[in-house]
């Protein structure tokens, strides 16, 4: 079959895989190839055990795979035949040298750009799908266009706004698709080609175009605003605990104000995920490098508040459990950074588990999808006899002094807490790091309940 366009995505991760699967499913007239240097990941994409868990993903992949969706490690061949290349490689925080701990590490992006130049024989459109610092497209344009083959690469920015756990829903019905380009005739022409892809299923009014710098910055700012809401309500949860106000009542009330809106106002043990912290620190670094110290400090405080919330959670546990958890069995319910994903990158559970292990607790990690990742995150402790990984929450809680909810998995809301209580040590504690359980009911069963930002319910 002759395809109308050949689209390539470099990077078969949480973004590249689902995004391209949806494009392929929606646009059978395009050939969509996804490549990665990680052979195991590509093999998994070609199998029935996909490398990431995401509701609805398998069905979409199955619909298009082998028809017009292909996963491969032959990066050079795929670059050569592609008209449009999305680059969705990872952009972690730099861990060395200038900007360490804040700036984005662009080495994977630059390597990819150099490879594109080496292999290409004709003009191509290159799209930043990864989240990148503002003005990266300029640097990439220089690297790509410094070739002696007379080939032109137009660099666009099309940041991805999907949320893990609802990626397929978000891709099928996005709030908006943003495509940034240079405002030159070539830039605008390239941009219209990318608009054409999304217009296959996204209503035109939701496809927003902008200059390339606004597109790059909008992604960082969107994540910063989302994380800021979480840190804001978490800061209020601390105040509620001192004043006997109830953070869920405060959230409900302020969320009813249409200017504020009700989403992202749930107090929790803290935000996680690969993006929020990294993208805010990246924003902070950019502000600092332009001398905007006050702006940088303002956004950095969102990350500081998140660290505080995690520390505070462990301090609450310690204080409640008579100032020591040494030797006590503590079951963590959930390890993923949010429900409906197996992703544990920057999950608050990592820090909480580590702090509890430092306090010499016996920690049992339980999660329906994230245990493999949890073992990697806690690798230095895996051989310790003070840590266990158990999928079944009933087994995890057996003999425990406390359970602590780390992830808002729906299944945890409907466990048989009477059964759990009867298998636990006394006094039995629940620390609800997501405020998802029925605290009154748990208290009536006999638990001592410590929600976030709400009065505690104790039997002593």
Least gap, CB of 283 to ligand NAD (angstroms): 13
Q: Which is nearer to ligand NAD, 94 or 439 (CB)?
A: 94
What is the chain's Cα-based Rg? 24
| Minimum distance, C-beta of residue 418 to ligand NAD, in the bound complex (Å) | 37
Complex with ligand NAD: residue 12 or 69, whichever CB lies closer: 12
Interatomic CA distance for residues 32 and 38, integer angstroms? 18
Judged by CB, which is closer to ligand NAD: 75, or 305?
75
**Residue at shortest CB range from ligand NAD:** 13
What does residue 458 show for φ and ψ, rounded to 5 degrees? -120, 150
At closest approach, how far in Å is the CB of 54 from ligand NAD?
A: 10
Q: Are strands 429-432 and 329-333 parallel, antiparallel or unpaired?
A: unpaired
Task: Give 163 or 245: the residue with its C-beta nearer to ligand NAD.
Answer: 163
State residue 432 phi and psi, 5-degree precision: -95, 95
Report in angstroms how near the CB of residue 347 gets to ligand NAD at its nearest. 13
Q: Which residues pair with 448 in a beta bridge?
A: 429
Neighbouring CB atoms inside 10 A of 328's CB total 20
DSSP 50: -
DSSP string, 261-314: -STT----S---SSSHHHHHHHHHHHHHHTT-HHHHHHHHHHHHHHHHHHHHHH
> Which is closer to ligand NAD, CB of 338 or CB of 401?
338
Terminal C-alpha separation, the chain: 73
Q: Among 148, 89, 143, which Cα is nearest to 116's?
A: 143
Contact 437, 412 (CB under 8 A): yes
Looking at the annotation, which residues are catalytic? 275
For the record, the structure tokens of 143 come out as 């690297």
Q: Which residues bind ligand NAD (CB under 6 A)?
A: 10-16, 35-38, 41, 75, 88-91, 108, 111-112, 130-131, 160, 162, 164, 274-275
Please, what is the minimum distance in Å from the beta carbon of residue 202 to ligand NAD? 17
């Amino acid at each position: 079959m002759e395809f109308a366009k050949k689209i390539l995505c470099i990077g078969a991760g949480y973004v590249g895989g689902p995004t391209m699967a949806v494009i392929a499913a929606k646009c059978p007239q395009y050939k969509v190839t996804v490549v990665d240097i990680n052979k195991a990941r590509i093999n998994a994409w070609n199998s029935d055990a996909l490398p990431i868990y995401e509701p609805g993903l398998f069905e979409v992949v199955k619909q298009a795979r082998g028809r017009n969706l292909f996963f491969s490690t032959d990066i050079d061949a795929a670059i050569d035949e592609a008209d449009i290349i999305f680059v969705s490689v990872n952009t972690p925080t730099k861990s060395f040298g200038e900007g360490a701990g804040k700036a984005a590490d662009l080495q994977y992006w630059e390597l990819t750009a150099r490879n594109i130049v080496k292999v290409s024989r004709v003009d191509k459109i290159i799209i930043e799908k990864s989240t990148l610092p503002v003005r990266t497209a300029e640097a990439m344009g220089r690297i790509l266009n410094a070739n002696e083959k007379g080939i032109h690469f137009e660099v666009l920015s099309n940041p991805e706004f999907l949320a893990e756990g609802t990626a397929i829903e978000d891709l099928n019905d996005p709030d908006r698709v943003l495509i940034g380009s240079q405002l030159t005739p070539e830039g605008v022409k390239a941009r219209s080609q990318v608009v054409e892809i999304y217009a296959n299923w996204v209503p035109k009014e939701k496809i927003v175009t902008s200059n390339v710098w606004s597109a790059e910055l909008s992604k960082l700012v969107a994540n910063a605003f989302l994380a800021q809401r979480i840190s804001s309500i978490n800061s209020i949860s601390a105040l509620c605990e001192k004043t006997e106000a109830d953070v869920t009542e405060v959230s409900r009330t302020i969320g009813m104000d249409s200017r504020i809106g009700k989403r992202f106002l749930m107090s929790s043990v803290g935000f996680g995920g690969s993006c929020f912290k990294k993208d805010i620190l990246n924003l902070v670094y950019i502000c600092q490098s332009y001398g905007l110290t006050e702006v940088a400090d303002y956004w950095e405080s969102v990350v500081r508040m998140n660290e505080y919330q995690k520390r505070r959670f462990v301090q609450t546990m310690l204080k409640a459990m008579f100032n020591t958890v040494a030797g006590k069995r503590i079951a963590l319910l959930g390890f993923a950074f949010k429900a409906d994903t197996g992703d544990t990158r920057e999950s608050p559970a990592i820090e909480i588990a580590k702090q509890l292990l430092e306090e010499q607790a016996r920690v049992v990690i339980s999660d329906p999808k994230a245990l493999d990742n949890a073992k990697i995150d806690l690798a230095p402790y895996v051989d310790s006899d003070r840590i266990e990984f158990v999928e079944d929450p009933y087994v995890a809680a057996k003999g425990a002094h406390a359970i602590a909810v780390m992830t808002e998995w729906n299944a945890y809301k409907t466990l048989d807490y009477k059964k759990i209580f009867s298998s636990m040590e006394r006094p039995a504690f629940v620390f609800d790091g997501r405020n998802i359980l029925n605290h009154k009911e748990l208290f009536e069963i006999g638990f001592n309940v410590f929600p976030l930002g709400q009065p505690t319910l104790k039997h002593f």
